[in-house]
Structures are given as structure tokens and as C-alpha cells.
Amino acid sequence: MKTIKLFGKTVPIFLLIGILCAGGMGSAALLTYYGIMTTTVTVEQAITTNMPSTLTYTIIGGDTKTDGPYNLVNHANVPVTVKFATTYSPDGDGITTTYRGILDLTTKNVVFGTSPWTINEDKTATIWYTLTGNVFDWGYINYAGFVEDDYTLIYYKDNSDRFNDPAAAITDISNSLPYETDGNIDGYNYCGGTYSAGVSTGDNYVHCHGAKLWLVPIADINPTTKVLTWTDASNFLFETDLISYTQINNGNMILPSNGGGVNFETINAFDVALQKGTYTITTNVLPVA
């Protein structure tokens, strides 16, 4: 056996080689990664509303109290489904809460090929409409400057070239609004006060995308083709914001993307036999998975 002197002692060579190999293996290491990156992300709320956090009032049994209008805005770049839900404390037996869309309409100074058409309020109206449900319905809250029976509500679905290719009136709303082929879903942006073709219409609405509801004289709608008499457009009551309606029976509501949404009211009705006391009514706008 071959040996070697190490620190004054005789050590077998094979043992020394083992010690050196063990030491070499102990000092080596493999990389656990070639690069690393840490990202910090701040997530902002997709759906916002200006509903007040608290509201207090006194009513008499049998009364109905309407609150609003408030707005819901979808800031996400995809449509978002939400749902209204209301709870009562103590038990809400005798209190009924409903929700409806609300929209102001007015005459405007019509100048074809330009945008926006400015409001003149020669004729005005505020209407309510169905937010969600199997059947679209609507009605007047108030109006001024025209005879109610002379007008009807239409859905105006913009074509991709809205000035050179005007659309026909839609008098029978039989689907969710806006329709999939409406240029106002993503082609025209109604937010921002500066007009830019294909980007912003210059109208500065609360809701950037959605559907248009107009009040139009019945005499100005061709009964067969639904083509509008545009020479009388100064008497049309145009939208002052865009809306959304969801044709579904479960109470869910789909808000269009990129600033789409609705203006709405909450209506609390109190039974005439409701016991005297203080009731807390909490209305939530809930996400739907």
C-alpha cells in the first residue's frame, strides 16, 4: 500500500484521494435559475358606481320612494355581467325594491357630417326602460314641448359609416341592446369631449359604448322600410347617453365593455300595513361568475 506523509502522519494515498474528491464535490453547486423578475401589479375595480354609501329618509306606509339616477360603468375591455340584490333589516316583508334604467332625451342642432350635435332642449323627455327581463318595456317619467301620442321610441343602431350610411329605425326591440352589429359597441366612442374620427364622437357621455334610444315622430318612420325622414330630424329627441338592456329572465345584466353601462334608479315601495319602525335597505351590485 502506497502512503504519503500528511501533517506528520502517514496516510494511505487512496484515503487522501477520497478526502480530496469529497471536498471538491462539497464546494461545487448548480444554478437554480438563469434570471429572475419580480412584477408588482395594481388592480383597479372594473365596475364603478356613484351610488351613495348611505341614504336616510322618512316615509309613510303606502308610499313609494325613487332614488337616483345613479350610474354603473364597466371599465374592463370585456363585457361584464352584474346583478342587483337588496336585503332588509329587520325582515323586509312589506317592502319591495325594483330597478329600472333611466334616460334623458332632447332635440339637438342637427348638422350632418359633424359631431357632436349640440343640445338645444326645444323638446325634452325623461323615460324609464327595462334593464333586464324577457320583454323590453319603457314609459315616460316626464316630457315637454311635444304631444306624447305623436311620438314613439326607437332603437337606433349605427352602421359603420353612420353619416353616409344612415340606419333604419328599430321599433320592435326583440333582443339585448346593443345588437352585435351596432357600430356603437366598439366602433364609436362617446366619452371625451374632443372629436376624433373613429376614436371619439365628442359627445362627452358618461357611458362610452352601448345603444341609442330616440323618440321620433311616428309620421317620420316609413311603416314598411322603417327609414327615417331625416329632413325632420330637428324634431327628433336624441339620446344624451348610451344604454344597455339584457334580454334574460334571471335578473342578470350585461354591461358593454370599455366604459359601457347604464344609468338607473332604485324604487322602494312600502306596504300600507307595514309596521312603524326604522328599516335598513341595502342594495348591492353583485358580480356574477
**pLDDT per residue as tens digits for the range 43-87:** 999 999 999 999 999 999 999 999 999 999 999 999 999 999 999
Total structural domains within the chain: 1
What is the residue type of 239? E
| Residue 142 covered by a domain | yes
- The pLDDT score that the predictor gives to residue 160 is 79
Global confidence as pTM? 0.85
| Residue 10 covered by a domain | no
Cβ atoms of residues 82 and 255 within 8 Å: yes
| Residue 281 covered by a domain | yes
Q: Tell me which residues of the chain have a pLDDT lower than 50.
A: 16, 20-21
| Residue 19 covered by a domain | no
- The pLDDT score that the predictor gives to residue 8 is 59
As to burial, measured by CB atoms within 10 angstroms (0-12 exposed, 13-18 middle, 19+ buried), residue 45 is exposed
Q: End-to-end distance of the chain based on CA atoms, in angstroms?
A: 78
- The pLDDT score that the predictor gives to residue 89 is 94
| Residue 163 covered by a domain | yes
| Residue 215 covered by a domain | yes
- The pLDDT score that the predictor gives to residue 4 is 59
> What does the angle CA 59 – CA 60 – CA 63 come to, to the nearest 5 degrees?
80
| Residue 158 covered by a domain | yes
- The pLDDT score that the predictor gives to residue 159 is 86
CA separation for the pair 82, 59 (Å, rounded): 30
The mean pLDDT of the chain is: 91
CA separation for the pair 84, 45 (Å, rounded): 17
Largest CA distance in the chain: 121
| Residue 227 covered by a domain | yes
- The pLDDT score that the predictor gives to residue 132 is 96
Between strands 119-129 and 95-108, the pairing is antiparallel
Domain containing 165 equals 48-287
